[in-house]
Amino acid sequence: MPVDKAEAERVARRFLDAANAGDAKGVEAAFAENARFDSVGRVYPSRADIMNRFLIPEVLDVGGRYKAIGSRWDGDRYVVRYDFKTSGGGGESFSYAFLIQDGLIRDVAGRY
C-alpha cells in the first residue's frame, strides 16, 4: 500500500502537538489500536501499552516537550529527529521512524 506522505507528516505533527500540550486523549487518538512502538528495544505491542507503560509515565506525566529538529523519508517510514526535554530539566535527542497508514500511527521505531 503506497504511503500518503503529506498525510503521514500531518499525523506525526498531530502527535507532536498533542504530546507537547499534555493531551493524552489526543496522543492516543493518533495511534491505531494495534499499533506497536519499539523504544530502543523496549517493545509496546498495543496502543494501551504505548500509552500506559510509555508515553503517559515517561512523556506526559513529566511535562515532556518534543522539538522536531529534522525529518526525512526512509522507504515508507517518516523519520523525525527530536530534542526532548522534561519539565525537570532532563533531556535527550532521538528519532522516531513512523509507519503511518490510513491516518493512524501503526508502528514506531525509536532510536538514539
- Domain range for 75 is 5-111
Using DSSP's 3-state secondary structure scheme, residue 69 falls into strand
Residue range 71-82, pLDDT digits in tens: 999 999 999 999
The pTM assigned to this predicted structure is 0.95
CATH number of the domain bearing residue 43: 3.10.450.50
Separation between Cα atoms, residue 25 and residue 89, nearest integer Å = 25
Number of domains in the chain: 1
> How many other β-carbons are positioned within 10 Å of the β-carbon of residue 40?
10
**Looking up cell 532521538, which residue turns up?**
94
pLDDT tens by residue, 47-98: 999 999 999 999 999 999 999 999 999 999 999 999 999 998 989 999 999 9
